[in-house]
């Protein structure tokens, strides 16, 4: 077996500092790309997507044939359980943050809301995205990766 490292691992240990939910959501809202995790054929599935944060909810766009569109469209109240993860971790220093939100996802069905999300959330893939999915967070966790000599409040 051959192990290849694209970059050298930084020297010095790192520490993981827990974030409160407000700070975690603020950081999540500062980036536009994340990963949605949902169940497909009884197995976890992960897809990279772009998002907007709207009044504490995460909104992504999707298309008619997508597995997530089908699952959320068939779900009753409160929706389908999903996880959403976003981060900003420097590949050289391994410093940054990571946030995971777990909650219920459902299709946005109100035409005015859908039109608003279509205007502010541009897909980054070349595909027609006629649907939007809203994730209502139930559990918000996050960590900040710092050097051991860095103050947790920095």
DSSP track, 76-105: -SS-EEEEEEEEEE-TTT--EEEEEEEEEE
What pLDDT, on the 0 to 100 scale, is given for residue 154? 46
Domains assigned to the chain = 16-146 (2.30.110.10)
| Residue 67 or 137, more confident | 137
Range in 3-7, 62-66, 142-146 with the lowest mean pLDDT: 3-7
Residue pLDDT, tens place only, 46-86 = 999 999 999 999 999 988 878 888 878 776 777 889 999 99
More confident residue, 55 or 2: 55
Element (H, E) at 40: strand 33-40
- Per-residue pLDDT tens over the stretch 83-120: 999 999 999 899 999 999 999 999 998 999 999 998 89
Whole-structure pTM value: 0.85
Give the single-character DSSP code of 143: E
């Amino acid at each position: 077996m051959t192990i290849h490292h694209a970059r050298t691992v930084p020297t010095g240990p790192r520490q993981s500092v827990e974030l409160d939910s407000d700070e975690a959501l603020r950081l999540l809202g500062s980036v536009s790309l994340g990963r949605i995790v949902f169940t497909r054929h009884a197995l976890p599935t992960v897809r990279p997507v772009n998002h907007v944060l709207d009044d504490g909810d995460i909104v992504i766009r999707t298309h008619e044939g997508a597995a997530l569109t089908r699952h959320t469209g068939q779900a009753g109240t409160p929706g389908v359980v999903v996880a959403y993860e976003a981060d900003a971790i420097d590949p050289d220093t391994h410093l940054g943050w990571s946030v995971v939100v777990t909650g219920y996802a459902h299709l946005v069905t109100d035409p005015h809301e859908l039109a608003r999300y279509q205007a502010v959330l541009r897909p980054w893939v070349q595909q027609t995205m006629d649907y939007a999915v809203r994730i209502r967070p139930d559990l918000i966790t996050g960590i900040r990766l710092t050097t051991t000599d860095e103050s947790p409040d920095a």
